[in-house]
Amino acid sequence: MRRWISVYSITVLVPVAAAVALLLTHHAGGATARAAAHPAGAGGPLFRLLIAASVVIAVAALGGAVARRCGQPAVVGELVAGFVLGPSVLGALAPQVQHSLFPASVLPQLDLLAQLGVVFFMFLVGAELPSGLLRRSTRTGLVIGHASTAIPFLIGISMALWLHHRYPSNGAGMTAYLLFIGLSFAITAFPVLARILAERRMLHSPLGVTGMAAAGIGDATGWSLLVVVIAIVRGTSVTSAVLAVAYMAAFVVIMMLVVRPLLARTLRWADRRPSVRDGVSAGLICLVLVSALATDRMGVHTIFGAFMAGVVMPRQSPLFREMAGKIHGITVWVMLPLFFAIVGLRTQLNTLSGTTAWLTCLAVLVVAVVAKFGSGTVAALSVGGYSRRESLAIGAMMNCRGLTELIVLNLGVELGVLTPALFAMFVCMALVTTAMTGPILRRVVPKQQPPAATPDGPASMSLAKEDLDAPLLS
């Protein structure tokens, strides 16, 4: 026992005592250096980032829960939470608190995390896009999807001619301005619509299938138009814009004809060998990031590469479903709330000062609703096979803009197309049109529709096996 105590004292207690003595000797100098590097109450950059992120995630979760209780998708409450934390609410009521939570030094870090979240969200959107449904969607889905994109696009361009005299762009050319405003009117939020229909138990009903097919076609068309718009805005000449579009077209062909079959073979191989699952999952994430980087270097945007990486994924693979579920969690629970906070911090309702500005905002909202809701309803009535109530429901589905619109608007600010006042108007429009969808569907479709009984016509479209899986974004 004595020997054990002696050895322990020499090898443990003596070194610890010497270390404590050295620390106490240099404590004063170290404290002075720390005080100089980090003034009292300032905190380090990571400390401030963690505080800001914690507040954003907590408030967004609360907003999403309240929205669900009110019969709205969580995205509505999360966006409202971003408003509350921004200059429009918290900044007006307690500017010192708002500045303390979101100082200028933290905003770039939040924005980077938010943009990374958008990249992974667009990957999930691409993976969620029902490619089997789009391939088999009859002329009905094609007509409704394209009509509810083309007509609002034209009306949006006409509206842009009127808006430009009052709210000119921050340096973008007139063509880019017209195209971007037109596209902002034409967007449909496919992921949010899928969530709303799932909550309404309409996702696999004949009417829901038609709405999803039309929304998916409209969404794909809208993203294609956005490629052209961004190429025009970023291009220093017509030639560079044409080259960017050509590069993007070549990228899509390579992803569909080369990467997609290669992924299918790789995942079939990996699904039979559990030992390689982690390595293959890491490779898939690298593919998402490299695809995003590729389209960014083409002069388009990172979201298109991430979106195409999702489109080419073999969604029937268990390994892919597992990986997508993990990405979904960190994206939806952490990164997207940061994106909503950035949108809220950029939205300054005080820029809409005066009666004229608010009347303009109201005009944007009314025209957007009439263009999208009306075109979808009229197209559904015109193709035949739908009652007036069903046509109104399809129009309401097409009018849902949600997070997709916010991504487009955020790009508009980054590219200098939208002024703060226009950005605030279109964010309000996105919020209201998304919030309208659920109540209108409850009003015009009070009961769940029965399954299709006939083999032909609009009610006969069915989802493929991979499209019947639980939605990744719901």
pLDDT tens sequence across 205-218: 778 878 888 887 88
* Whether residue 35 has pLDDT greater than 70: no
Express each pLDDT in 297-347 by its tens digit.
887 778 888 888 998 998 888 999 888 888 988 888 888 888 888 888 888
Q: What band does 29 get if pLDDT is binned at 50, 70 and 90?
A: low
- Average pLDDT estimate for 47-70: 90
Residue 467's pLDDT is what? 43
Residue 398's pLDDT is what? 92
Q: What band does 375 get if pLDDT is binned at 50, 70 and 90?
A: very high
* Whether residue 258 has pLDDT greater than 70: yes
Gap between the Cα atoms of 220 and 247, Å rounded: 18
Nearest to 428 by CA among 155, 183, 88: 88
* Whether residue 136 has pLDDT greater than 70: no
Residue 457's pLDDT is what? 38
Residue 21 makes CB contacts below 8 A (sequence gap 6+) with: none
Express each pLDDT in 71-120 by its tens digit.
887 878 888 888 889 888 888 899 899 888 888 888 888 889 988 988 99
- b/e string for 211-250 if b means 16 or more Cβ within 10 A? bbbbbbbbbbbbbebbbbbbbbbbbeeeeebeebbebbee
Nearest to 391 by CA among 444, 338, 447: 444
Q: Which one has a higher pLDDT value, 364 or 385? A: 364
Q: What's the pTM?
A: 0.74
The average confidence (pLDDT) of the chain is 82
